Structure formats: C-alpha cells, structure tokens
Amino acid sequence: MKKSLFSLLLVSLFAQSIYANDREEALCGTFFEPFVFWMWSSMTPKPDSSIVANIPFIEPSQYVTSDGKTLRGYRYSSNNGYAKTSPKGYILVAMGNTMLSDQMVVMLKSFSQRGYDVYVYDYRGYANSEGSRRIKAIIEDYKEIAQTLNKRYKRKLLYGISLGGAVMLNVIGSGLEYDAAVIDSAPSSLSPFGCPKSIDPLENLPKDAGKIFVITAQSDSVLPSSMTSPLRESAKERGAKTLDGEEYEHPFADINLKVHYQRMALILEFLDGEK
C-alpha cells in the first residue's frame, strides 16, 4: 500500500514538472526570448516595499499558479478615503515590462476610491515573484488570476499597460468573461520579434470589441505609432472606444501631470461604466 502511494506521488510530481517546463517554454526563440526578458528585467529597479508601507488600504497579495509558482504583488482595497468599503468589483492590472508592483499600486488610489479592489502582481521572474520570465507563462498566469477573481467579484475589469496590454488581449482572446478592458499603448503584434502569430494582440482582439478602450500615444518614445496604431485602428473598426493622445507619452511617463491625470480619469470612467 505504501509503495503504491509512493509511486502515485512520484507520477504526480513528474507530471507537474512536465507541465511547469511546458508552461515556461520560450515561444519567441530559444535564446532570443530569455535574453530579451533578462535585458528588460535588468532595467527594472529593485523592489522596495517601504514605498507602500504606510499607505492605508494597500496590503500584500500573492497568487500561487497551477504550476506551483508564487506571484507577489498588492491589493489596493476599495475605500472611501477613511475606511474600506464593499467593492463593486475588481480591477486587474497587467504592467509594462520594466514596472514593479510596489511602484505601480501607489498610483492607483483613484481606482480603489471608485469602489474597486485593485490587484497588481509582479510578473513571474520579476522582483519577488517566482518562476522564469516567459511570455507564455505570463499570459497563462493572468488567465488564472482573472478566472479566480471572476469567482469572487461581480464586476470584472482589466487594465493592460504596454506589454501588459498584449497579455490582457491574450487573456480576453482565451474567452474570459469580463465587463470592460483598457489597453494602453500596447504593441499591435509580437510576431515580428519571432513570436507565434497566435499571441499577437491583433489576433486576440475580439470581433466585437465594444467593451474595450484602446489608447495610443503620439509622443510615445518607447512604442512608436507604427507599432501601436494598427491595433487601435482595427479595434475602432470592431466597435471599440479609441484615443490617439496627441500629448500622451508612454503610460505613467507623461511629463505633463495634467495630461497624466486626464488620461487616468478617462480610463477610470470607461472601466466604471461612465460614458
């Protein structure tokens, strides 16, 4: 009996190992993808939990993926500025590739005060999140997180920034149930960089994009219009709300604070259902 249980345990561990390896395979070139993620992560500042230590309603959050990796980040709980409030729903944020959760979450105060629990996690392999940095794994992670949150909240909202916009469109393309999504300055395609066409944001844009708001930035020095405008134009044809901000730079890099706050207000109004 003991021998049989031990054998079953070995088989289970072996199967989990195979799944984990498959999940973290490089889709965009065996050497190119790991190198690019290494380069991006090397430009990312070190995590600093002291940034959020004394801010009310922000608390650590973690998610354990089905392949056993722990992703760490934060939840900014729904509040009225004085106390926690019952959330209307959640907003899941997928960041750009050089952003960290402790920096990002502090900039989402207005989202939490609108009545939403706001979640942001460091991608696997970044900061204190476990695992290897791979686009396939990151997409699968966010599918899982969103599916889990969908079971707990009534209103389901997604916000993808830069690379995170590509991640969120893959989540949407998988058939996830959601109420509204904002895709801010995301690349239209990843296949020019050796990735399979199946994960291109354009390929995952739904035929009816009426629940999506696509933003591009005319002054973006990170992702120029040639990389982002095809997605915006296609989204508009499919019924999405779109905006090509004349003064906009890459998300959260707007030099003009008035422009930044106006951008955030438009995003929040769309997610919250205000037309």
Strand partners, 181: 158, 212
Q: Record the tokens describing residue 209, joined without a space.
A: 């994009």
* DSSP label at residue 118: E
Q: What is the pLDDT of residue 7?
A: 43
Q: What is the pLDDT of residue 114?
A: 97
Q: What is the pLDDT of residue 71?
A: 98
Pairing mode, strands 155-161 and 89-94: parallel
Q: What is the pLDDT of residue 274?
A: 55
Q: What is the pLDDT of residue 13?
A: 34
Entry pTM: 0.90
Q: What is the pLDDT of residue 34?
A: 78
| Nearest-angstrom CA–CA distance, 220 and 32 | 25
Q: What is the pLDDT of residue 90?
A: 98
Q: What is the pLDDT of residue 39?
A: 75
Asked if residue 228 lies in contact with residue 187, where contact means CB atoms within 8 angstroms, the answer is yes
Q: Answer left, alpha or beta for residue 254, where phi above 0 means left and psi between -120 and 50 means alpha.
A: beta
Edge to edge, the sheet with strand 155-161 lists 58-64, 70-76, 116-121, 89-94, 155-161, 180-184, 212-217, 241-245
Per-residue pLDDT of the chain (275 residues; tens, 9 = 90+): 444 444 433 333 333 333 445 899 999 988 778 778 777 777 778 888 999 999 999 999 999 999 999 999 999 999 999 999 999 999 999 999 889 999 999 999 999 999 999 999 999 999 999 999 999 999 999 999 999 999 999 999 999 999 999 999 999 999 999 999 999 999 999 999 899 999 999 999 999 999 999 999 999 999 999 999 999 999 999 999 999 999 999 999 999 999 999 999 999 999 999 54
